[in-house]
Structure 1
Amino acid sequence: MTILKHIAQLLARASDGVYSLVAAVREMFHHDPELRRRVAFSVALIALSAKMAKADGVVTVDEVKAFHEFFHVPPGEMANVTRLYNLAKQDIAGFETYARQMASLCSGDTHECAMLEDVLDALFHVAKADGVIHEREHRFLVRIAQIFEVNEHHFAQIEARHMVPGKADPYVLLGVSPDAPFDEIRKRYRKLVAENHPDRLIARGVPEEFIVIANGRLAALNEAYERLELMLRGKNELRA
């Protein structure tokens, strides 16, 4: 059964908007943590994308295309995505309520807590699709990060991954000090690459369709590392 069909089952049981939908995720998949994470990730991304669109006031063609980079929806299942999207967009509950419900799924489980960063990353991907993250979208993303307990330093790293290549501060992106020796930078870079390998995301329940997140992270990490390597070589801080 596809994730979208699972969502269709959940929608049939959601009597109180997405609030009850999250409760249904817990109940239906308590026996299968991996499936629960996969369904929860998809529900969170669809619902919070809808709320972000409402906060911004407009949904661009580019944002729709970015959304479909994550969801390769068979024609017969598009109704399930549309129904959840509209349910979230029209629900009187604010996005903070949704975000808190999603955050409540992180009950000390390392994979489920890491999944919240994946959701935030995916929302950034959608927000930037039209070439700029608008002020309202940025405020929305900042508040989501706060509710997900992503600290300011980590948020800055996530945001840097979504800047135009070459524009982000490579030190911020890699999470290292500007005075860090290159050996430390290389060690940090390798650690981040290992942590963000597509297999790691799949292991914590991110559906395979969403590996565009991992690919984007790796591209940003590679670009930052290469820039620092060139900069430090230019300063003769690296041996040829």
Structure 2
Amino acid sequence: MLFDQARGQLTTFLEKVLSAVGETAGSVLTRVVEAVRTVFEGDPETRKKVAFSVAMIALSAKIAKADGVVSRAEVDAFRQVFEFPESEAAHVARLYNLAKQDVAGIEAYATQMAKLCRTCTGGPCQMLEDVLDGLFHIAKADGLIHEGEMHYLERIGEIFGFDEAGFERVRARHVHTDGVNPYAVLGVSPSDDFPEIRRKYRSLVSEHHPDRLIARGVPSEFHAVAHERMAALNAAYEAIEKERRAA
């Protein structure tokens, strides 16, 4: 786990950030970004994990507030998405609250967090889909995704570099207004032949395997959402396979 592998470093990071921002929310974004870049400059693997963690904490706070109120269900969902030991709870809670109150808007946060997640890869990072998945999980925690929340999720998707089809594939795993659309979940079309659908399914399973998540810097605290995503991919493939066999 991130908190086991880099406990001393993470604590130092949080202490430096919280000390730098004090109680003034307006300076949080700039100082957090600068801290991630400089404190872990010589340790790209830890920096990658910390960048993901900060993105989840900060954007979770922003998305939870998007409908005007932060519900208990959304806070609980954040704890599901981003588990952490009680010894770190005060640090995480303070950073969460500062981000929630920060004068910087969610677009500014999304832009800076995307840059942080890309710093170790030099380009678009699969890690950003992990972040977006987590934000959907939090947004739907109170029973529905409000219009304001969906607007922000769509905007975050754009900033993260998702095209319309890519964003729809993520959304289909979480929003089922007319029932689950297994084709949308896998990002395929009903007109595709089954071997092509199978290839796409296997590619997605490979991309989102727990070992791949670890390799790209996603800490194990996030794996509850990763397992939910794998379950959605498996269920979608099985539904299509059953439908094709029946036909």
TM-score of the pair, normalised by structure 1? 0.90
Which residue number corresponds to residue 3 of structure 2? none
Find the aligned partners of 1:111 and 1:146 in 2 and give their Cα distance. 15
Aligned counterpart in structure 2 of residue 102 of structure 1, from 97, 106, 113: 113
Residue identity in the other structure for 1:91 = D
Helix, strand or coil at the partner of 1:129: coil
Q: Which moved more, 1:61-70 or 1:160-169?
A: 160-169
Which residue number corresponds to residue 9 of structure 1? 16
Residue identity in the other structure for 1:38 = K
Is residue 66 of structure 2 the alignment partner of residue 55 of structure 1? Answer: yes
Contact 1:14–1:24 (8 Å) recurs in 2: no
Question: What is the deviation of 1:166?
Answer: 8.9
Residue identity in the other structure for 1:39 = V
> Aligned pair count?
235
Q: Which moved more, 1:106-115 or 1:34-43?
A: 106-115
Question: What is the deviation of 1:13?
Answer: 3.6
Are residues 224 and 87 of structure 1, via their aligned partners in 2, closer, same or farther at CA, if it must alter by over 3 Å?
same
Q: Deviations over 1:53-75 (max 9, x none)?
A: 22211222221221111333333
Are residues 219 and 102 of structure 1, via their aligned partners in 2, closer, same or farther at CA, if it must alter by over 3 Å?
same
Are residues 4 and 111 of structure 1, via their aligned partners in 2, closer, same or farther at CA, if it must alter by over 3 Å?
farther
Question: What is the deviation of 1:7?
Answer: 2.7
Residue identity in the other structure for 1:96 = E
Are residues 166 and 201 of structure 1, via their aligned partners in 2, closer, same or farther at CA, if it must alter by over 3 Å?
farther
Question: What is the deviation of 1:127?
Answer: 0.7
Is residue 225 of structure 2 the alignment partner of residue 218 of structure 1? Answer: no
Residue identity in the other structure for 1:20 = R
Are residues 79 and 29 of structure 1, via their aligned partners in 2, closer, same or farther at CA, if it must alter by over 3 Å?
same
Contact 2:127–2:216 (8 Å) recurs in 1: yes
Question: What is the deviation of 1:163?
Answer: 3.1
TM-score of the pair, normalised by structure 2? 0.88
Which residue number corresponds to residue 74 of structure 1? 85
Question: What is the deviation of 1:220?
Answer: 0.5
Residue identity in the other structure for 1:123 = L
Counterpart mapping for 1:14-163 below 5 A: 14=21, 16-105=27-116, 106-107=118-119, 109=121, 113-163=125-175
Contact 2:48–2:120 (8 Å) recurs in 1: no
| RMSD, aligned CA | 2.1
Find the aligned partners of 1:121 and 1:14 in 2 and give their Cα distance. 29
Q: Deviations over 1:134-189 (max 9, x none)?
A: 11110110111111111111000000111359922211111122111111111111
Q: What 5-or-longer segments of structure 2 have no aligned partner?
A: 1-5
Helix, strand or coil at the partner of 1:206: coil
Question: What is the deviation of 1:228?
Answer: 0.4
Residue identity in the other structure for 1:137 = E
Helix, strand or coil at the partner of 1:31: coil
Contact 2:84–2:221 (8 Å) recurs in 1: no
